[in-house]
Amino acid sequence: MACKPPTPLHHTAATRAPAQAGPLRVAARLKGTLAALLCVGALVASPVAWGQAGAGGGADGTTISGAATYAEVQRLIANREWVLARQRLEHWLQSHDSDPQARLLLGVVLAGQGDSAGAQRLYEQLTQAYPELPEPYNNLAVLHAAAGRLPEARAALEWALRFHPDYAVAHRNLGDVYAQLALGHWQRALALQPDTPGLGARAAALRRLLHPGAAADAPQQ
């Protein structure tokens, strides 16, 4: 599949905290796409806020907080330093193996390294262990959409919104999935009934919206 990006589907790298912990904010998005998540693979990150998610010892004997670990990993992710980010997370998880934020970040790193199967397994484990967190469902939907599994992506996003109806990222991504599904159905309808009034124009308009570069790259008639 060519790496021609339609509208972006946003990949989050921060979770809402479980009930016993402080709040987390959505902190990063993956500039992937519905058609080819890993074609671009760039992340834009901002600081995570979870206070003291736990503490671990640094190599020099200093105490490292969860927030400091997340901030460091997000910086590495933003710079696409996947190997270092993975090493830092795996070290942290040795003593904080149930930390959902670190596990979510590890999923982002695995996806950035091209290990979508490993990222998917992590996200699925998080949805089972923390079904109230919408971010793992969202990131799972990103992977499904990147692989062309739009019905599965829609289902994952609907689960995210079932737990958090005000989760804006999931609403945006679900809108993108619906648009992609609509285009597929309209194209199928046109193949079956090419003379359907107005449908060709609607399909063309939606295609331009989802694939903004396609019209410029297409050969002129």
End-to-end CA distance of the chain: 25
> Are 81 and 34 within 8 A, CB to CB?
no
- Taking Cα atoms as reference points, which of 32, 34, 30, 27 lies closest to residue 43? 30
CA distances from residue 169 to 29, 133, 184 in whole angstroms, order as listed: 9, 13, 23
User: What is the percent of the chain where pLDDT is above 70?
Assistant: 67
Which pLDDT belongs to residue 41? Answer: 26
Tokens of 81: 């330093």
Mean of per-residue pLDDT scores for the chain: 76
Tokens of 203: 């399909």
C-alpha span between 127 and 123 (Å, rounded): 6
Burial tier of 217 (Cβ tally within 10 Å: 0-12, 13-18, 19+): exposed
7-28 pLDDT, tens digit per residue, is 456 667 666 544 332 222 232 3
CA pseudo-torsion sign 33, 15, 155, 161: negative
pTM: 0.71
Q: With 90 as the cut, is the pLDDT of residue 142 above it? A: yes
Q: Which residue has the tokens 């003379």?
A: 195
